[in-house]
Amino acid sequence: MIIYLSLLDSREDHSKFTLLYNTYRHAMMHTAYSILNDQGLAEDAVHDAFVRAAKNFRKIGAVNSPQTKAFLIIITRNVALTIAKQNGRTLIFDEESTINAIADNTTDKDFENFDFDRIVQVIRQLPATYTDVMYLNVVEGYSVKEISAIMELGAEVVKKRLQRGRKILIDNLTKEGIING
């Protein structure tokens, strides 16, 4: 019988978590506040984001790295959007209800002919619900299952956000007709 025992927390981990808190709490607060516009709710979001970060602690690398910062900001944004939705502060597109309405066959090859700066520009215009899962999947290399655990979303929702995000990107790029020469 193989028993898998993995010890998560050591003294170093504790220091690391404290360091994460001290380093990024204000940036996370900034992210949460920009969505919620309420100090109390934003603090709740930051706290919940740290709880989620603790659950996914093994996925976090060096404290002072752009990846870690992006990871925590994504988690915070996700939590803040969920709180906003619960408090009726924002209308969030409900993917689950429209999942089947989207026929998507977009692949990465479709980006081949577009201008890099334009892709960046269009990505910046895309809702964070899509860009966050795409970043975790494409840049950080997390699987759908891992993203599902980080974002506390269903795997199907994550999969559809990935597909739909690409589809919207391609559509928007095509509409503009900007193709790299």
Partner 1 sequence: MADSKFKRALNYSFQQEMDEIPPQYELERKYVFSHEFEEKMRKLIKDVNKKYVYAFGLVLPRYTVGVLLLIIAMAAVLAMRNRNMLDRSTARLLFSVAELIIVLIFGVSIKSAGTELTKTPQSAFSDSEEETAAPELEFTIPVSPLSYSKSNEYRTTTLHTVEYKDAVGRIIYYERISINGGLLTKIDTPEHINSCRVHRWEAIWFEKDGQTNLVWADSFYRYTLKGMCNIDMLMEMAESLYK
Q: Would you tell me which residues interact with partner 1 (CB under 8 A)?
A: 3-10, 13-14, 17-18, 21, 25-27, 29-31, 33, 39-40, 43, 46-47, 50-51, 54, 57, 66, 69-70, 73, 108-112, 114, 116, 119-120, 123-124, 131, 134-135, 138-139
Q: Please report how close the Cβ of residue 32 comes to partner 1 at its closest, in angstroms.
A: 10
Question: Whose Cβ is closer to partner 1: residue 73's or residue 84's?
Answer: 73
Question: Whose Cβ is closer to partner 1: residue 8's or residue 101's?
Answer: 8
The rounded distance, in Å, linking the Cα atoms of 96 and 171 is: 21
Question: Whose Cβ is closer to partner 1: residue 40's or residue 88's?
Answer: 40
Q: Please report how close the Cβ of residue 168 comes to partner 1 at its closest, in angstroms.
A: 13
For residue 171, give the nearest of 116, 76, 105 by alpha carbon.
Answer: 105
Q: Please report how close the Cβ of residue 56 comes to partner 1 at its closest, in angstroms.
A: 12
Question: What dihedral angle (degrees, nearest 10) is formed by the CA atoms of 28, 20, 155, 138?
Answer: 90
Give the list of residues 6+ apart from residue 163 with CB closer than 8 angstroms, or none.
102, 104, 106
Question: Whose Cβ is closer to partner 1: residue 124's or residue 175's?
Answer: 124
The rounded distance, in Å, linking the Cα atoms of 26 and 136 is: 22
Helix (H, G, I), strand (E, B) or coil at 141: coil
Q: Please report how close the Cβ of residue 47 comes to partner 1 at its closest, in angstroms.
A: 5
The rounded distance, in Å, linking the Cα atoms of 96 and 160 is: 9
Q: Please report how close the Cβ of residue 73 comes to partner 1 at its closest, in angstroms.
A: 7
For residue 38, give the nearest of 75, 4, 88, 2 by alpha carbon.
Answer: 88
Question: Whose Cβ is closer to partner 1: residue 51's or residue 102's?
Answer: 51
